[in-house]
Amino acid sequence: MNASNSLPQRKLFGRLSIIAGNILQIAGIAAACLALAAARSAHSKSAALAAMVAAWALLYFFCHGIAHWAAGRMLGIRFAFYTVGGTGNPEGYPAGLRWVFEHLPFFGVQTDKASMQTASPTAKAIMWSAGVTSSAAVPTLGVLWARHAGVPGSKLFLLFAVIWAVATVASNWTSRTGDYSKARRALGRS
């Protein structure tokens, strides 16, 4: 959802009910956990690395939308449906990756208009911040767990995951379409 009509529209591929979206995202997160377990017990280094990278990608794609939903619901915000489409923050990616991320299936969540109108600025800001915060933290924590479990290749991949997380936070902080910008606008700050 865009916070302003002047912001570019996200490329949408479809939409899902809240129940169907939550089921899919929980299944994606569960698949990531299974992939991490497989990485720990893999018999080859390449299989362990592939499972760990798959877990990181699953966590990255499936934790964002549901984090918005969970934080919002805890704070009394209602939602109409999930969207599936390209990133809502294309300017946060370098030119070479921008096109790719505009065409990957990210989950977004459409707020209920009346619910957002009655929500406090702090509730809105927390709901907006929850998605990108989880996109940065959850996949990185998955790789940190893999490192702690001794998964081959996890030390170097953890470095990549931390850099990706920092870039995710930074791009959302500075981008006018990023979730942190939406949170600042909700609080009345630019």
Three-class secondary structure assignment of the chain: CCCCCCCCCCCEEEEECHHHHHHHHHHHHHHHHHHHHHHHHCCCHHHHHHHHHHHHHHHHHHCHHHHHHHHHHHCCCCEEEEEEECCCCHHHCCHHHHHHHHCCCEEEEEECHHHHHHCCHHHHHHHHHHHHHHHHHHHHHHHHHHHHCCCCCHHHHHHHHHHHHHHHHHHHHHCCCCHHHHHHHHCCCC
Q: pLDDT tens digit string along 15-47?
A: 999 999 999 999 999 999 999 999 999 999 999
Closest CA to 144 of 159, 131, 133, 163: 159
Q: Would you list the domain boundaries of the chain?
A: 19-186
In angstroms, the CA 56 to CA 63 distance is 11
**pLDDT tens digit string along 55-97?**
999 999 999 999 999 999 999 999 999 999 988 777 777 788 8
pTM recorded for the entire structure: 0.88
Between 104 and 143, residue with greater pLDDT: 143
State yes or no: pLDDT of 6 exceeds 70: no
pLDDT in tens, 170-183: 988 888 878 898 99
Contacts within 8 Å (CB) and 24+ apart, 37-44? 39/146, 39/149, 39/151, 39/154, 40/146, 40/149, 40/150, 40/151, 42/151
pLDDT tens digits along 105-162: 889 999 999 999 999 999 999 999 999 999 999 999 999 999 999 999 999 999 999 9
Instruction: Say what the pLDDT of residue 4 is.
Output: 43
